[in-house]
């Protein structure tokens, strides 16, 4: 593995959906975020060790992506 490629995270295929109905007094919206449940990290960063941990040559900070999330939003107008 090349040292320059150790923080490569790959392509992101993010699909979010929304569908809803509305009247004069209320709105209902069903949603699904991350429909394909893509787990590509949101961020991956390599940073130097600065000799703080002997035997460890490199450290990484990885921020995971939230998995599939579904819900219903209800709005009522007064």
| Higher pLDDT pick, 68 / 9 | 68
Instruction: In the chain, count H helices and then E strands.
Output: 0, 5
Asked if 36 and 15 touch (Cβ cutoff 8 Å), the reply is yes
* Tokens read off for 58: 């490199």
Asked if 66 and 34 touch (Cβ cutoff 8 Å), the reply is yes
Query: Any idea how long the chain is?
Result: 78
Asked if 9 and 44 touch (Cβ cutoff 8 Å), the reply is yes
Query: What's the pLDDT at 36?
Result: 94
Q: What would the mean pLDDT of 28-37 be, rounded to a whole number?
A: 97
Contacts of 8 (CB under 8 A, 6+ apart): 44
pLDDT reading at 6 higher than 70: no
pLDDT digits (tens, 9 = 90+) for 37-78: 999 888 888 777 666 667 666 778 888 999 999 999 999 999
């Amino acid at each position: 593995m090349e040292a320059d490629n150790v923080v490569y995270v790959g392509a992101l295929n993010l699909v979010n959906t929304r569908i809803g109905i509305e009247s004069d007094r209320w709105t209902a919206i069903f949603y699904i975020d991350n429909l394909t449940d893509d787990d590509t990290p949101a961020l991956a960063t390599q940073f130097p060790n600065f000799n703080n941990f002997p035997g460890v040559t490199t450290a990484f900070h990885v921020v995971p992506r939230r998995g599939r999330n579904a819900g219903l939003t209800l709005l009522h107008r007064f």
